[in-house]
Amino acid sequence: MTGSLAAIGAGLAVIGAALGIGNIGGKAMEAISRQPEAVGDIRANMILTAALIEGAAVIAIILSFFAG
Partner 1 sequence: MGKFSFLTAIFLLVFGLSYAQTDHSGHDHSGHDHSGHDHSGHDHSGHDHGDHAKDQPATIKKKTNPNVNRTKRKQNNRAGNSHDHSGHDHGSHAGHDHAHGDHGHSGAHVNACGIAGEDPSVFNAGKVAFHHISDQNIYSIGPWHLPLPCIVKTSEGWDFFSSGNFKADYHGTSHYAYKGYVLYEGSLRRIVNPSFPKDKVELHHGDIAIKVEPHPSTGKPVDVVYVCYNNTAYKADNKSTADAGLFGGGITSFYDFSITKNVAGMFIVVFFLFFMMRSVAKAYKTREGKAPSGVQSLIEPIFVFIQDEVCKPFIGHQWEKFTPFLMSLFFFILGLNLFGQIPFFGGVNASGNLAVTAILALITFLVVTFNGNVNYWQHIFWMPGLPAWVKVIITPVEIVGNFILKPATLMLRLFGNITAGHIVIVIFIGLIFIFGKNGTNPGAAYGATIASMLLTLFMMALELLVAFIQAYVFTLLTASYIGAATEEHHAH
Per CB under 8 A, residues contacting partner 1 are 40-41, 44, 47-48, 51-52, 54-56, 58-59, 61-62, 66
Please give the DSSP secondary-structure letter assigned to residue 64. H
> Please, which residue, 8 or 51, has the CB nearer to partner 1?
51
- Other Cβ atoms within 10 Å of 64 Cβ, number: 19
CA angle 44, 48, 53 (to 5 degrees): 150
Nearer to partner 1, 33 or 66 (CB): 66
Min separation Cβ 26 and partner 1, Å: 19
Q: What amino acid occupies position 67? A: A
